[in-house]
Amino acid sequence: MDKFTRESERLLYKVLTPEHLDAFYEVHKHDEVGRWLLTGRGKTKEETLAKIYLYQKSFAELDYGTWGVFEKESGRLIGQAGLEATSKGKPGIQYAFMPEYWGKGYGSESLAFILKFGFSEAKMDEIIAGVYPDNVRSRHAIEKVKMKYQGEEDFSGHIMCYYTITKEEWLNEEV
């Protein structure tokens, strides 16, 4: 187990390697997944591999990043979740799951895990999230972990709902 492997109740979080490419591509190839990410579409295999390298680099340089998310019960790679540097200069939450795993509470479970990691281990003071206004499920999950809606803002050229939570707020309302 590497120093960044973590787990929550039903999920295992691992730093991805090129050996995960085929399974991770199964997450990223779907247009309905990419629709909610900045690309607006599914990714090619080459783009997916580039993401794996980007996520590895983030962990190496920042001691945080985006994990591959594995369902403990099946061992299957079902998505991604983590923190990334944003155009706002603050760490931002990002996550995505294969469509057949939507509506199972994995998003909320991952968000709670990410906030705990960010504030308890990575010692962050504030974490943000940007969500497309029509992504009702993600907005609900983000609000469920007590992130505060701040209005609509530009994220890398995309108008999104902007959410924040500080460490103090998280400590007072830990979910």
| Mean pLDDT, contiguous 10-residue spans, the chain (175 residues) | 89 97 84 59 83 94 95 96 87 91 93 96 94 90 94 84 95 74
30-56 residues labelled b (16+ CB within 10 A) or e (exposed): beebbebbeeeebbeeeebbebbeebb
Distance of alpha carbon 64 from alpha carbon 9, whole angstroms: 20
Q: Residue 70: CB partners within 8 Å, gap ≥ 6?
A: 11, 12, 13, 14, 76, 77, 78
- Report pTM: 0.90
Q: Residue 106: CB partners within 8 Å, gap ≥ 6?
A: 10, 11, 69, 71, 78, 79, 97
pLDDT of residue 125: 96
pLDDT of residue 169: 95
Sign of CA dihedral 19, 113, 41, 27: positive
Ordered by where they begin, the domains of the chain are 7-172 (3.40.630.30)
